[in-house]
Amino acid sequence: MSEIPFETIKNIAMEEPTPEKCYRQRRVNLYLGLGLSVVLCITGVGFILTAFMNPNADDFPAPAAIIVFTIWSFFLVLGIWAILSYLRERLLISETRIIRHDLFGKTVISVDEISQLNWYTGFGAIRLDSPGRSIVFNMESFTKPEQSEIITFLRNHVALEKHKNWDYFYEGSRRVIEPGATATRQEKILASVVLALAGVFFCGWWFGSGSGFLLPALLCVFGALRIYQGH
């Protein structure tokens, strides 16, 4: 593993996690989940009422109806998942152990039992492996100060030879480690792809495929801005 100066983290005015510190998802995830679910439920009721009240509803092409329903269902499930994840998921870190609560249970790993720490790239995922157990969590679920705390803790408490892909993670997370750093090429590409997806949804809404396309389009624009700004 090539040596990349990590002293920049020390310039961030943050303390390492106190014993058994609890990290929760950002509250914005809950608001997005609630907003998405409510709007889609209202839209679904509107579709049903329109189908019953419109005598020409049978003329609506079946393939188009299936596509609209599939997209609507996907985003509704996504909204509900975001709500449940916010209410359930927790990451607890202490000097001796790391506990991950998710929708299906919890996993406990002792810090001294960690055999490999895999710093994934792209979406900020981190995987902790120990004999018989693994913990995976997404750094994007937390605020930037919390991300900085977690990174500092793991770098200081897990032997460096157990770290994998740190170089790539460092490049993709420079704006957490080094405030003021510009967007990386990967982030710019990802933001462009999300904006293109927003354009597809806007076209669907503009050409009368249903108001259910508008909210996903706005969410994609919001997501692209957050990616580009490093949030």
Distance CA 85, CA 25 (A): 8
State the residue range of the domain holding 116. Answer: 89-177
HEC profile for the chain? CCCCCCHHHHHCCCCCCCCCEEECCCHHHHHHHHHHHHHHHHHHHHHHHHHHHCCCHHHCCHHHHHHHHHHHHHHHHHHHHHHHHHHHCEEEECCCEEEEEECCEEEEEEHHHCCEEEECCCCCEEEEEECCEEEEEEHHHCCHHHHHHHHHHHHHHCCHHHEECHHHHHHHCHHHHCCCCCCCHHHHHHHHHHHHHHHHHHHHHHCCCCHHHHHHHHHHHHHHHHHHHCC
- Select from 69, 88, 107 the last residue of a domain: 88
pLDDT for res 118: 92
Same domain for 164 and 120?
Answer: yes
- Select from 38, 66, 88 the last residue of a domain: 88
Distance CA 175, CA 188 (A): 14
User: Does residue 63 form part of some domain?
Assistant: yes
Q: Write the CATH number for 155.
A: 2.30.29.30
User: Does residue 29 form part of some domain?
Assistant: yes
* Angle at 158 (CA atoms; ends 186, 112), nearest 5 degrees: 140
Nearest to 157 by CA among 101, 118, 114, 126: 114
User: Does residue 4 form part of some domain?
Assistant: no
Same domain for 83 and 93?
Answer: no
Per-residue pLDDT of the chain (231 residues; tens, 9 = 90+): 445 555 554 444 444 545 789 999 888 888 988 998 998 888 888 777 776 776 665 566 667 677 778 888 888 899 999 999 899 999 999 999 999 998 888 999 999 999 999 998 656 789 999 998 999 998 888 888 898 889 889 999 999 999 998 888 877 676 666 656 666 677 778 888 888 888 888 888 777 766 677 778 888 888 887 776 665
User: Does residue 3 form part of some domain?
Assistant: no
**Number of domains making up the chain:** 3
